[in-house]
Amino acid sequence: MDWHNRCAASELRSGWITMHPIENLCCQNLDCPDRGQRGHGNLVFRGWSGKGKRIRMVYCRICKAHFSERKGTVLEQSRLPDAKALDVLNHIREGCGTRGTSRLVGVDKNTVTRYIAVAGAHSQPLHQERVAFSPPDL
């Protein structure tokens, strides 16, 4: 087991989320023939990004694209630590209001509003897909 896999298998520092294996990621390049396909062996780890080097950078061997492991996720442009960003979303999911969430998590209410908008836009295509395949009402 190499260094990267040992680190990816465990939490690296407090407040970080356990990393998923690189095999669970897929290429995000629109022009890549392997776009959206997981476990093809086309992705490799290529360094770190972000404050404190906490975000992995990924390289696709097929299309030669570099991108963040967060590309295409709700956390793509997140400036908050992973745990705090997920706390914001979890509080909202549980029905806590914007101001209550901002007090409980310790962020500005505008930050909470921004995460709600990003998460909503991110989840809308999935919702539309699920609704299209829902059974008809009888």
For 2-36, write each residue's pLDDT tens digit: 434 334 333 333 344 566 777 778 888 888 887 87
pLDDT in tens, 83-126: 899 899 999 999 999 999 999 999 999 999 999 998 888 888 77
| Paired tokens of 44 | 């490799």
- 1: pLDDT confidence band, cut at 50, 70 and 90? very low
- Do 44 and 91 reside in the same domain of the chain? no
Overall number of domains in the chain:
2
Higher pLDDT, 88 or 65: 88
- Do 96 and 41 reside in the same domain of the chain? no
35 assigned to some structural domain: yes
Domain final position from 68, 95, 116: 68
| pTM of this structure | 0.63
73 assigned to some structural domain: no
Lowest mean pLDDT among 2-6, 47-51, 55-59: 2-6
- Do 11 and 57 reside in the same domain of the chain? yes
Residues ≥6 apart with Cβ < 8 Å to 5? 21
pLDDT for residue 16: 46
Q: Give residue 102's domain range.
A: 82-132
74 assigned to some structural domain: no
